[in-house]
């Protein structure tokens, strides 16, 4: 248990569905992140929030929409996804920015059919 909890653990959705991934951290951290992990590819940083403000958006398609209502919660809203979006989506948090240790959640295994 890392103190970062993601739900759901598994999700299967059709290309026309809308779903949301949830992440919650109980560590008192100020930064939260969404990463995408595909087979045999490096972890890809998608979004960064620091003190609830988005500070990074690595050219992620608009079908992924993040939301950070407070410093403990992070959401990733999904709509009209493509099969190539199937991957493990990992949430992480750190005390401050990238130069501090990141704690990862267990991830959501997403399959788009």
Partner 1 sequence: QKEVEQNSGPLSVPEGAIASLNCTYSDRGSQSFFWYRQYSGKSPELIMFIYSNGDKEDGRFTAQLNKASQYVSLLIRDSQPSDSATYLCAVESNNDMRFGAGTRLTVKP
For the bound state, the minimum distance from the C-beta of residue 14 to partner 1, rounded and expressed in Å, comes to: 25
- Nearest approach in angstroms of CB 35 to partner 1 is 8
Contacts of 70 (CB under 8 A, 6+ apart): 52
Rounded CA separation 59/86 (Å) = 18
Q: 70 in helix, strand or coil?
A: strand
How far does Cα 24 stand from its chain's mean position? 11
Q: Please say which residue, 17 or 87, places its beta carbon nearer to partner 1.
A: 87
Measured at the alpha carbon of residue 85, what is the angle toward residues 83 and 90, in degrees to the nearest 5? Answer: 145
Rounded to the nearest whole angstrom, what is the least distance from the CB of residue 16 to partner 1 in the complex? 29
Angstrom distance (rounded) from CA 10 to CA 51? 28
Q: Nearer Cβ to partner 1, position 75 or 103?
A: 103
Of residues 16 and 42, the one with the C-beta less far from partner 1: 42
Q: Residue 5 CB, nearest distance to partner 1 (Å)? A: 11
**CB nearer partner 1, residue 80 or residue 106:** 106
Give the footprint of partner 1 on this chain (CB under 8 A): 2, 40-45, 48, 55-56, 90, 97-99, 101-107
């Amino acid at each position: 248990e890392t103190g970062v909890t993601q739900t759901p653990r598994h999700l299967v959705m059709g290309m026309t569905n809308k779903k949301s991934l949830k992440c919650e951290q109980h560590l008192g951290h100020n930064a939260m992140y969404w990463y995408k992990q595909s087979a045999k590819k490096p972890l890809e940083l998608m979004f960064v929030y620091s003190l609830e403000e988005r500070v990074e958006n690595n050219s992620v398609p608009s079908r992924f929409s993040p939301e950070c209502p407070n410093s403990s919660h992070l959401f990733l809203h999904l709509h009209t996804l493509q099969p190539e979006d199937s991957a493990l989506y990992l949430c992480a948090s750190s005390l401050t920015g990238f130069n501090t240790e990141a704690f990862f959640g267990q991830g959501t295994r997403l399959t788009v059919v």
